[in-house]
Structure 1
């Protein structure tokens, strides 16, 4: 066995725990999640959760941080084409439906805690700077501040995944292509 095998095994265990916890937290939130179910799904044990993450809250924080990093890496902002950026972000929510669920649980169970996720703060600041620079160059309108404009784009990209089922029932079915088109065209209209 190579010297790197224990490190690989530890990282594989940690990854399995993160993957299992993603599903558990998306389904049940922080309060409703159970570490015994996470451990069983990950083919591990509760002691490993506490070893790697310290607590259930620490595990949620690691899951949320991991999800945010994956999203930032997979969907970089393009301030010169915010409609398509919103479309790609929408696509990522379709491909990874747990993202919006985790974000909702985070808002519900962590609001007002004073805790912030550094990757979210860093990436949001970078995106606001990119939008502000595009506004200074005349590529984007200035009727909204850079932060306001970014917030509107982010919320429009999550429009479909953030609806209650009753809205979808009333609005009727829409194809995946139509849903994406609505997001892209809404952001384009916002910029006109």
Structure 2
């Protein structure tokens, strides 16, 4: 029977996603990934190269999937705020992307910064964001998108700071936690709407 290469790659990526999300790059173990996937670990090196390359492949796949899952629809500040809210929901659902991005920042930021695949992904994302906010140049759109992504990614990973800084309710009552999360989402949406409106006004003023 012919070996199903694409299925094997998917099994390895799924297992590596879980492993790196939980343990990071340094703590992630190739043998655990292989065992979880039910695949000989030599296949990992054959298909993805060294462990660092596998981590990059995992995050690249997750980011591509998120771009498809959370579309940048509409136009104007309200559309930007709506996108922020939907991205918040998506990332909160499993927390994988925020965790991987934070691990990456701690362990391989310099490598990520010169990764051509990642650069192209983010260039495309900024271009799509610009379409939502006509009048913004690449730099202004990138600045705003960086703020949006930073705020969205922080909540699943740094939500404990809510208790320390904002006094957020993290008691045993699921309803109180859900209410606080909804309040944080609303604050994020409002913030992005205000910043987007300000950025468009500044762009219009500069071109007047």
By the TM > 0.5 criterion, same fold? Answer: yes
Q: Deviations over 1:97-129 (max 9, x none)?
A: 1111100111111122353251x3224223333
TM-score by length of 2: 0.76
Query: Which residue of 52, 59, 65 maps to 2:54?
Result: 59
Is the alpha carbon distance of 1:164 and 1:156 closer, same or farther for their aligned partners in structure 2, counting shifts above 3 Å? closer
Is the alpha carbon distance of 1:153 and 1:40 closer, same or farther for their aligned partners in structure 2, counting shifts above 3 Å? same
Rounded to whole Å, the distance in 1 between the matches of 2:57 and 2:129 is 29
Residue matched to 1:188: 193
TM-score by length of 1: 0.82
Partners of 1:153 and 1:187 within 8 A in 2: yes
RMSD: 2.4
Q: Which structure: greater helix fraction?
A: 2
Is the alpha carbon distance of 1:47 and 1:130 closer, same or farther for their aligned partners in structure 2, counting shifts above 3 Å? closer
Rounded to whole Å, the distance in 2 between the matches of 1:154 and 1:166 is 18
Rounded to whole Å, the distance in 2 between the matches of 1:61 and 1:87 is 26
Rounded to whole Å, the distance in 2 between the matches of 1:11 and 1:100 is 26
Rounded to whole Å, the distance in 1 between the matches of 2:7 and 2:126 is 35
Residue matched to 1:111: 109
Rounded to whole Å, the distance in 1 between the matches of 2:62 and 2:116 is 11
Query: Which residue of 85, 88, 106 maps to 1:87?
Result: 85
Number of paired residues? Answer: 181
Partners of 2:70 and 2:86 within 8 A in 1: yes
> Could you tell me how far 1:164 is from its partner in structure 2?
5.0
Q: Deviations over 1:118-167 (max 9, x none)?
A: 1x32242233334445332xxx7x9x822212222222323422425243
Is the alpha carbon distance of 1:79 and 1:156 closer, same or farther for their aligned partners in structure 2, counting shifts above 3 Å? farther
Residue matched to 1:177: 182
Residue matched to 2:203: none
Taking the TM superposition and a 5 Å limit, the aligned residue runs for 1:1-192 are 6=3, 9-78=4-73, 80=75, 81-113=79-111, 114-116=113-115, 118=117, 120-133=118-131, 134-136=133-135, 145-168=140-163, 170-173=167-170, 174-175=177-178, 176-192=181-197
Is the alpha carbon distance of 1:117 and 1:33 closer, same or farther for their aligned partners in structure 2, counting shifts above 3 Å? farther
